[in-house]
Amino acid sequence: MVGEHSSKQYDQELEAIRSKVLLMGGMVETQFDEAVNAFRVGNTEQADKVVADDHAVNQLEVQLDDACSHLIVRRQPAANDLRTIMATIKVITDLERIGDEAAKIARTAKSLHERGMVSFNHYETVRTISRATADMLHDALDAFARLDGKAAVQIIAQDDVIDHEFRTIMRSTITFMMEDPRTISSALDVLWVAKAIERIGDHAKNIAEYVIYVVEGRDIRHSKPQAVAAGGEG
């Protein structure tokens, strides 16, 4: 029913949406980097910027959802093409929530530094988890850009490392608090930052799962990691 000309137009419009999603991905990556930096050096202006930038990310979410709807209505895609749009809609939601988490990190960074509560090496605590998560997010966006299913499988495995690191942070923070109860309030802020970072890792994992859904046509959400890896090789 759909001619070659129309199908080509469809591909072009879909590519335009995908480019904008990658732009949105770049925006939330910057938000995350800047939020962690504001937390590290106590730059409250940078923290304010991250929160302000979240409005632009939110607007992009609404625009991109709209663009996906219009594409479906105008081009009436077949099942295979629709899968890509459905996955894109889900990726957009995850990117928006990453922006929310970055804004939370920025707000906590600001509050912590304004209260002058940085009583232990707060950045050291989250350094490993924030670097691992930044890499994971970058890799997930890259896999989405290249629709690289094999890379996506590897990204999903990285989430376990981040979850493990979060539990390590929790234990060490509890020790800090018990040794010096005056640090409890600021240590909790550090824990909230770590939790927000861990959530960003979850969202990056979701993005990788949607890439596999597009590439391999199978829904691997809620599968065991071994099953994912096995399918990814096959």
- Helix, strand, or coil (residue 223): coil
Asked if 69 interacts with its own copies (CB under 8 A), we say yes
**Cβ neighbours, 10 Å, residue 128:** 14
Applying CB under 8 A, the span of 10-18, 67-75, 127-135, 226-234 interacting with its own copies comes to 67-75
Q: Pick from 123, 86, 91: which is nearest to 108 by CA?
A: 123
User: Residue 76 CB, nearest distance to its own copies (Å)?
Assistant: 5
- Non-local (6+) Cβ contacts of 182 within 8 A are 119
Q: What string marks each residue from 30 to 59 as x (binds its own copies by CB under 8 A) or -? A: -------------------------x--xx
- Looking at the Cβ atoms of 93 and 128, the one nearer to its own copies is 93
Question: Could you give the C-alpha distances from 184 to 40, 175, 192, in angstroms and in order?
Answer: 19, 10, 12
Q: Is 114 exposed, middle or buried (0-12, 13-18, 19+ CB in 10 A)?
A: exposed
User: Residue 64 CB, nearest distance to its own copies (Å)?
Assistant: 11
Q: What string marks each residue from 107 to 126 as x (binds its own copies by CB under 8 A) or -? A: --------------------
Q: 4-41 vs 44-75: helix axis angle to the nearest 10?
A: 170
With CB under 8 A as the contact rule, the residue among 46, 49, 82, 111 that binds its own copies is 82
Q: Are 118 and 39 in contact (CB under 8 A)?
A: no
With CB under 8 A as the contact rule, the residue among 121, 164, 221, 230 that binds its own copies is 221
B/e letters for 80-90, b = 16+ CB within 10 Å, e = fewer, are ebebbbbbbbb
- Looking at the Cβ atoms of 65 and 216, the one nearer to its own copies is 65
Positions touching its own copies (CB under 8 A) are 55, 58-59, 61-62, 65-66, 68-70, 72-73, 76-79, 82-83, 86, 89-90, 93, 170, 174, 177-178, 181-182, 184-185, 188, 191, 195, 219, 221-222
